[in-house]
Amino acid sequence: MLRRPLPMVLDTWRRTVERLVSFSLRFRYSFCINTATHARSIVMAVTWKHALVAAAAAVAVAGCNMVDGAEVLIEDESGGSDEGWSSKWSGEPFDRITLAGPDNISFTTEGEHAVSASGDEKALERLQFRVRDGELRIRRKKSTFSFGDSGEADIKISAPALRALVLAGSGSAKVDRMEGDEIKLSVAGSGTADIAQLTAKKLDGAIAGSGSLKLAGSADNADISIAGSGSVLGERFSSPAVDISIAGSGDVTMASDGSVDAALMGSGDVTIKGKAKCKSSSMGSGTITCG
């Protein structure tokens, strides 16, 4: 296993911070449900040495009262039935989903766009589904969220394809399949995304906080970043070209028979199954196990 000199380590972390800042700005819309809780969870997850990375995640809390007039609201078509909320969406198609809150998504790849929800009555009353530029945005009606004032909703979504998924909060998502040239997965908070089958030329995965990504499938290239104590559970996922960056106590497990480049700052761990050739740089007690 090759180890890189300190200047290369610092350059790697400069690029990692820039990437997390970009991630935060791009999806700051999703962070608005509970600014204080999210900021605390991310800062507590890392040491003072990782302040830049924590600050990158905190950028996302800016602009929380942003009004987006270009969004299209999906209306409930259930007619007030006891079965909950439902709609067959015939407007702008979507292949990206952003969930902000504690709710749970089940996504099925089908030819028709449809959304339905069941669960806690108060949660259903506050749910909003909006579409803009190919992205389905799911959030509560209020801009702030308290864990004590409503429960969870179980949301079922179907669409011909899903290319990107963002979770902001404590929600979860189970996805049957993701395919495409570039697949993007992002978790901010304590949420969990479970992808049963992923096939891509490139996977871009990012975690800020204690969330997790559970992956099965393959990608020609995989770029994974963790800030905090998050986990990538990829025992059934493989890629011949992997770039991993961890700041904090996060961990990554996956398979590769190609090349793996890992940069660790803190106590994070990387475990690579297979015959990969690994390069690593570390500051802290983190370890990489290759092969």
pLDDT digit string, tens, across residues 160-203: 999 999 999 999 999 999 999 999 999 999 999 999 999 999 99
- The DSSP bridge partners found for residue 162 are none
Cα 113-197-42 angle, rounded to 5 deg: 90
Mean per-residue pLDDT of the chain? 80
With cut-offs at 50, 70 and 90, classify the pLDDT of residue 88: confident
pTM: 0.80
Q: Which of 162, 160, 152 is nearest to 84 (CA)?
A: 152
Domain of 245 in residue numbering reads as: 2-290
Task: Compute the average pLDDT of residues 208-225.
Answer: 97
Q: What does DSSP say about strands 192-209 and 172-175: parallel, antiparallel, or unpaired?
A: parallel
Q: Could you tell me if 252 and 227 are in contact, meaning their C-beta atoms sit under 8 angstroms apart?
A: no
Handedness of CA 11, 17, 18, 19 (dihedral sign): positive
The tally of domains found in the chain comes to 1
In this model, does residue 246 exceed pLDDT 70? yes
Cα 235-207-36 angle, rounded to 5 deg: 145
CA separation for the pair 192, 271 (Å, rounded):
20
259: helix, strand or coil: strand
**149 or 220: which leads in pLDDT:** 220
pLDDT digits (tens, 9 = 90+) for 39-48: 333 333 333 3
With cut-offs at 50, 70 and 90, classify the pLDDT of residue 29: very low
CA separation for the pair 222, 74 (Å, rounded):
34
Neighbours of 281 (CB within 10 A): 23
Question: Domain holding 277: CATH number?
Answer: 2.160.20.120
The conformation of residue 75, written as its DSSP 8-state character, comes to P
Query: pLDDT at position 34, please?
Result: 40
pLDDT digits (tens, 9 = 90+) for 106-131: 999 998 899 999 998 888 888 899 99
